[in-house]
Amino acid sequence: MKTESQSASIFNIAVIVASLGYFVDIYDLLLFTIVRVPSLQSLGLPQSEIDSGAGLLLINVQMVGLLLGGLFWGVWGDKKGRLSVLFGSILIYSVANIANGFVQGINGYVLWRFVAGFGLAGELGAGITLVSEILPKEKRGYGTMIVATVGVSGAVAANLIAKAVGDWRICYFIGGGLGLALLVLRISVMESHLFNQVKATATTRGSLLALFTNRARLLKYIKCILLGTPTWFVVGILIAFSNKFAREMNVQGNINPGDAVAFCYAGLVIGDFSSGVISQLLKSRRKVMLLFLALTAIMVAIYLNLHGASTALFYTVCTLMGFSVGFWAIFVTIGAESFGTNLRATVATTVPNFARGMLPLISILFVTAQSHFSLLQSGAIVAVICIGVAMLAAWTIEETFNKDLNYLEEI
């Protein structure tokens, strides 16, 4: 039976707002990657500091902000509501974006990147949770597909705007302005009826401890996180260091990592849309995850064997590899559908941020492997591990398609 806050349309205001919110979220994350070097140069830092010291500090501080923010917003979303997270997170990272445009020194930059990361952490999980709970179960996959597809396209927009505008400060102002404009739209979004039902009871909500005190629940939580590992391996290692891999394979011409990222994310947009549609057609999340993980394995193998390839072929493979890891919509939807209403926001918000947080561990593994193997061999070894654990998780995790979300976790 449809609730008062449930809409049969996949284009209702909650889906639109969650999609645009994630768009601004991804815009900011990729914009920082694009403008990090030129912004630090304009602040007068030497190249040595940009490459390691201050540059690395900014990345790490933002990651800490994302991880802490994921924990905070996830618990907050289950305790206070999904809408409060959508409002609070976008307000914080919009203000941080604007503040980033005014920084005059590295200390201010570090502070506001932490604040931005903290704010950005809540957007996707809260949006996916809200959309999953307000749409009919047979259509919620389309809703989360729209959120992920529109959101990931923010990366393409960031790349285009950065090239068109040129001034990194103005790019940050644009991101902050887009976020603040969204707050007006969010006024008309209703809270999830499932959350309102639970809020009216004495049920324990938003307990992080509850995820670790039950063995079956913890194992399911870990599986949800591991599903996202290949995406960050591909984007954070193979694409981020595409120039190094290209040199190792004697690819013709110069490969620009920024362009490789743009091509990869273009593929991701199409992949997210496709995986969402295929999931609805097959009426399965697990089958699509396994299908796309198999495709990821094939594309990574092709990528690592592009010896002497042309620049055009290399970028084409980057695009197709991006398509193959375009299962973010399915990944976050599985997380939201796998847990009861009293823990759903906590899981849906922490899972993608912990998956992002796996990148430093993947990087350490990649660097360690290079002390014993070549660059290409190290890439292949880490690929087998990342894709392998994700395949195992997808194979053993429960099917959540058409699952009724009106239930609670026993805490």
Question: Residue ranges of the domains in the chain?
Answer: 9-202, 207-401
Task: State pLDDT tens for residues 386-395.
Answer: 999 999 999 9
SS3 call for 162: helix
Per CATH, is 207-401 categorized as 1.20.1250.20? Answer: yes
Whether 316 has a pLDDT exceeding 60, the answer reads: yes
User: Residue 167, Cβ neighbours under 10 Å: how many?
Assistant: 14
One-letter amino acid of 348: A
Cα(257)–Cα(275) distance, rounded to whole angstroms?
Answer: 26
pLDDT tens-digit map of 111-168: 999 999 999 999 888 999 999 998 888 888 889 889 988 988 888 888 889 889 989 9
Mean pLDDT of 308-328: 95
- Report pLDDT digits (tens) over 53-80: 777 788 788 888 998 999 999 999 999 9
Helices (H), 101-122: 106-120
Q: 343-358 burial, b for 16+ CB within 10 Å, e for fewer?
A: bbbbbbbbbbbbbbbb
CA 333 centroid distance within chain? 12
Assigned token pair, 263:
């091509």
Element (H, E) at 196: helix 193-199
Question: Could you tell me the CA-to-CA distances from 335 to 21, 218, 228, 249 in Å, in that order?
Answer: 19, 12, 11, 38
Q: Distance of CA 182 to CAs 119, 187, 189, Å?
A: 15, 9, 11
Q: Could you read off the pLDDT of 224-258 as tens digits, one per residue? A: 999 999 998 999 899 988 988 999 999 998 888 87
In this structure, the number of other CB atoms found within 10 A of the CB of residue 58 comes to 22
Place of tokens 């004697």: 250
Q: 136: phi > 0 → left, psi -120 to 50 → alpha, else beta; which? A: beta
Tell me the average pLDDT across 206-224. 92
Q: Is 9-202's fold the same as 207-401's?
A: yes
Tally the C-alpha atoms within 13 A of residue 39's C-alpha that lie toward its C-beta.
26
Model pTM?
Answer: 0.87
The answer to whether 135 and 143 have CB atoms below 8 angstroms apart is yes
Confidence of residue 1 (pLDDT cuts 50, 70, 90): very low
CA dihedral 207, 124, 397, 196 (to 10 degrees): 50
**Of the candidates 165, 139, 195, which has an alpha carbon nearest to the alpha carbon of residue 7?**
139
**Domain 9-202 annotated CATH 1.20.1250.20:** yes
Would you give the DSSP letter of residue 250? T
What is the distance between the alpha carbons of residues 171 and 156, in angstroms, rounded to a whole number?
14
- CA atoms of 214 and 209, how far apart (whole Å): 9
Confidence of residue 2 (pLDDT cuts 50, 70, 90): very low
Tokens for 321?
Answer: 């590899």
Chain mean pLDDT for the chain? 89
What are φ and ψ of residue 303, in 5° steps? -55, -45
Cβ contacts of residue 84 below 8 Å, gap of 6+? 76, 77
Return the higher-pLDDT residue of 222 and 45. Answer: 222
Residue in 167, 221, 230 with CA at minimum distance from that of residue 358: 230
How does residue 5 score in pLDDT terms, banded at 50, 70 and 90?
Answer: very low
